Structure 1
Amino acid sequence: MWNLFAVWEYFVAVNHDNERKFNMAAPPTNKILLTRADLPRLGLNLSPSTLLRLEAAGQFPKRVRIGAHSVAWLASEIHAHIEALAADREGG
């Protein structure tokens, strides 16, 4: 479990000049699946209906059903999706 200090230290790295710069990579995780509660922590503040619409349009990774009333997403696909959004922003 990450505490606030550990998260801050992960996102803020010290370079050779002792100046602080942000490391925008996702924190390392041993989680394979991400739930709806995990998505906002990654900057994905999307409503359930928006997630369904984006999934149906092929613009968001497909969910995995993990129970009768529970869904999750593969962490690798979510991180790849975020990287693709950043690449699209940089490229265009």
Structure 2
Amino acid sequence: MLPDTNSPTYIDAFAYVKRSKNRQKVIKIIEKSRMTPSEITETMNVRFSLVSRVLRELKDKDIVVCLNENEKTGKLYKLTRLGLLIYYELQYK
């Protein structure tokens, strides 16, 4: 079931992403395919530490999920349903 876009949870998550261009960029990048932090870093042309921090924050808000959490390197991230809703609202509204 998709989250209600009028719920406080969705509104808080959307506002959180909207406040940061870097969060918005990460969401737009990983919507296209599952990616590692290194691939995101290359695409955004920013420091790895920035991407790592943004991914950790988005994960804490249930906007992204790590698909292979137990790996030390090469972790793959993708958007959750909440993340996809946020992506579509950012893109099309």
Q: Please give the TM-score of this superposition, normalised by the length of structure 2.
A: 0.38
Whichever of the two has the greater Rg, that structure is 1
Q: TM-score, normalised by structure 1?
A: 0.38
Structure showing the higher helix proportion among its residues: 2
- Asked which structure has the greater RCO (Cα within 8 Å, sep 6+), the reply is 2
